[in-house]
Amino acid sequence: MDEIQQIGFRLARQAGHDKVYAVNWSGGITEGDMVALNTTIQDSFPDIVRTLQRVSECSPEVSPDIPLMTSYKDLNDAKIVNEMENMYLSFIVVKEGENQIGYDFLRKWNERELMIFKNVIDVCKDGDRLLLLVGGDHVWMLKSLFEGIGWKVTNPFADE
């Protein structure tokens, strides 16, 4: 189950909405891509290993014992989002010989983000308000893409 089943349908029903749009797109990232990236990082890129550890350590715990809104607030914290962006961008240097593992992973990741972005634009009309539920890894880039076309992006979980 993902965000749509766990939260999207319930939230839409509670808010009186009759539609929930699935905009995710898994793209071309394979398990093999993930394994190659992780293995190469673990074997040859100690600075990125430290970055991964830092992100893991500062990432909030999500559990049934923590209120859902607290988890969302913690996961959308600007520091966490920035750490996630730095982590992903650090992958660009990951390579093994001529094999550009980090570049290939990021190319596929960017393609995925752009397709999610396109799917959102396809279902929205001018003046629509949108609540987009995505995994924390997506926040940094999607926020940038939406702001890049002039959309006002707000974090409903931020302290104002």
The set of long-range contacts for 14-17, using a CB threshold of 8 Å and a minimum separation of 24, is none
Contact indicator for 111, 28 with CB cutoff of 8 Å: yes
The separation between the first and the last C-alpha atoms of the chain, rounded to the nearest angstrom, is 31
Contact indicator for 71, 62 with CB cutoff of 8 Å: yes
Q: What global pTM score does this model have?
A: 0.88
- pLDDT at site 102: 98
Region 120-143: mean pLDDT is 90
- Length of the chain, please? 160
Ranges of each domain in the chain: 3-23+31-148
138-152 pLDDT tens trace? 999 999 999 999 999
Region 28-32: mean pLDDT is 95
More confident residue, 108 or 125: 108
